[in-house]
Amino acid sequence: MGAVEDITERRQMEEALAAKTKEYIDTVNLTGDIIIRLDKDGRFTFVNDAACQSFGKPRGELLGTDAAAFLHPEDLKAASRAVEGVMESKGLVKEFESRLVTPTRTRVVEWNGYLFFDEEGQY
């Protein structure tokens, strides 16, 4: 005895989702701007190609790394306050400047941070 189920529709939806995901990643990688996503602990969960180039490390080395490791030590308190402000307002912080420290140089960058929420309203 056996059972058979038609999964054509599910397979088509999976393929459509994969195509949209690839389209999104390709678009994000076309920009020259650094685009990152952090978890609640401040570790990279997504970095685009510009981020890899700017941080001077391949994606595999960046993912899971604490983003604060790339900030100038004198900027850590201000960065922490900016993140706390975003968390409290459940919104965004604009025009926060810090020094980005990489293996080859230090430069001033401007950050814009947004919060992403799940269906339960959790960050």
- Give the C-alpha separation, 100 to 57, whole Å: 13
Q: Per-residue pLDDT tens for 10-19?
A: 999 999 999 9
> Tell me, which fold does domain 7-66 have in CATH?
Beta-Lactamase (3.30.450)
Quote the tokens at residue 54: 């700017």
Structural domain spans, the chain: 7-66, 71-123
Identity (one letter) of the amino acid at 42? G
Q: Per-residue pLDDT tens for 74-87?
A: 999 998 888 888 77
Sole residue written with tokens 């799940």? 118
Residue 111's beta-bridge partner residues? 96
Q: What pLDDT sits at residue 57? A: 94
- C-alpha closest to that of 48 among 32, 64, 61: 32
pTM for the full model? 0.79
Q: Is the dihedral of CA 20, 26, 30, 36 positive or negative?
A: positive
